[in-house]
A = this chain, B = another copy of it.
């Protein structure tokens, strides 16, 4: 068992922000980007937090991400907008985009913003949850590196294209769905590969489009299965959801859709042109917020109180495990994998920052 290092949230925040500034981001944008990444670490989604910093910094350094983008509204109606991110860092572009969706929702009841020329934005849930404090629901999607296989295809021409849907409640914690539309995220294959274990049939296709239980196939032309896995178990539905995300994020915005997103193993020297979709909806466009919150509490409680499956003692609401991670990590610090510590240390060294003051 490798030893994880617990690091105080404030310390990690400070280090990451300094690294972003050293890579050319203005102070305010470095702060936004750090906050988005640390939100993932806090919520236990370790694959999308500090561990991604080398990727983000690398893109800033090789010039495929623009550190000082001129983000523009290309076209808009009272409830809609197309935003051009000018190849800015994902969180910088995306926070602005979600704020615009919220502003439009304030005016009309709903705001929908499709974004082009952006980059990897971290976890979708960070942005969908921005709606909560406004008494709104947030729906956020993004397209991504192509590695998910349509039903009956043998190639990963779609991304893991996540969907996040955040909904305010009354006294309970918010409902926060945040899911890839693939059966599993890439990380699960990587972990099995590292531990030399077989994987369940339904996660991974080989380069003939047949299921495999061998995780090493992912680096031999293999591709992820859509949610549902086999056709028999509804894989065409996961494929359809991935298409919906691609349409709203990348086709509606004229970003790089489908296989135009770079593949898993590629390292393009041109901007990613990722597409996102942000929607904010006022709850009081339908019902008073307090009344709605009370019904949400009742509905979630009814689910939690329903009879448990054999061997189970708890039914989870979406977002619950993540909020519990957040409570723990705010108190005890964020556990960093030794590899992440090493990567951060190296980035710091290259930037003339003393990592040991933070980690």
A236 an interface residue at 8 Å Cβ cutoff?
Answer: yes
Contact assessment for B152 and A314 in the assembled complex, using a CB-CB cutoff below 8 Å = yes
A1 an interface residue at 8 Å Cβ cutoff?
Answer: no
Contacts of A258 in B (CB 8 A): 299, 302-303
Compute how far the CA of A238 lies from the CA of B226 in the bound complex, rounded to whole angstroms: 12
A25 an interface residue at 8 Å Cβ cutoff?
Answer: no
Chain A positions 25-39 with a Cβ under 8 Å from a chain B Cβ: none
Contacts of A286 in B (CB 8 A): 75, 80-82, 114, 252-253
A227 an interface residue at 8 Å Cβ cutoff?
Answer: yes
A234 an interface residue at 8 Å Cβ cutoff?
Answer: yes
Contacts of A210 in B (CB 8 A): 309-310
Contact assessment for B302 and A243 in the assembled complex, using a CB-CB cutoff below 8 Å = no
**Shortest beta-carbon distance, A134 to chain B, in Å?**
14
Contact assessment for B316 and A236 in the assembled complex, using a CB-CB cutoff below 8 Å = yes
Copies of this protein chain in the complex: 2
A339 an interface residue at 8 Å Cβ cutoff?
Answer: no
Compute how far the CA of A162 lies from the CA of B227 in the bound complex, rounded to whole angstroms: 16
A53 an interface residue at 8 Å Cβ cutoff?
Answer: no
A334 an interface residue at 8 Å Cβ cutoff?
Answer: no
Chain A positions 72-99 with a Cβ under 8 Å from a chain B Cβ: 75-82
Contacts of A312 in B (CB 8 A): 152-153, 209
Contacts of A310 in B (CB 8 A): 154, 208-210
B-contact bits for A312-325, CB 8 A (1 contact / 0 none): 10111010000000
A117 an interface residue at 8 Å Cβ cutoff?
Answer: no
Chain A positions 144-172 with a Cβ under 8 Å from a chain B Cβ: 149-155, 157-158, 165, 167
**Shortest beta-carbon distance, A74 to chain B, in Å?**
8
A69 an interface residue at 8 Å Cβ cutoff?
Answer: no
Contacts of A62 in B (CB 8 A): none
A257 interface neighbour in B254, B295, B308, Cβ under 8 Å = B295
**Shortest beta-carbon distance, A79 to chain B, in Å?**
4
A307 interface neighbour in B82, B155, B296, Cβ under 8 Å = B155
Q: Which 5 A-B pairs rank lowest in CB-CB distance, beginning with the nearest?
A: A209-B309, A80-B285, A77-B109, A80-B109, A79-B109
Residues of A within 8 A of B (CB): 75-82, 105, 107-110, 112, 114, 137, 149-155, 157-158, 165, 167, 175, 177, 179, 181, 183-184, 200, 202-203, 205, 208-210, 227-229, 232-234, 236-241, 243-244, 246-247, 251-254, 257-259, 281-283, 285-287, 291-292, 295-296, 299, 302-303, 306-310, 312, 314-316, 318
Jot down 9 A-B pairs with beta carbons below 8 A, ordered by A. A76-B109, A78-B78, A108-B110, A153-B303, A153-B308, A183-B233, A203-B233, A210-B310, A253-B286
Given contacts A77-B108, A209-B309, 17 further A-B contacts (CB under 8 A): A80-B285, A81-B285, A112-B281, A112-B285, A114-B286, A151-B315, A152-B309, A153-B315, A177-B241, A177-B244, A227-B227, A227-B234, A227-B237, A227-B238, A228-B238, A234-B238, A236-B318
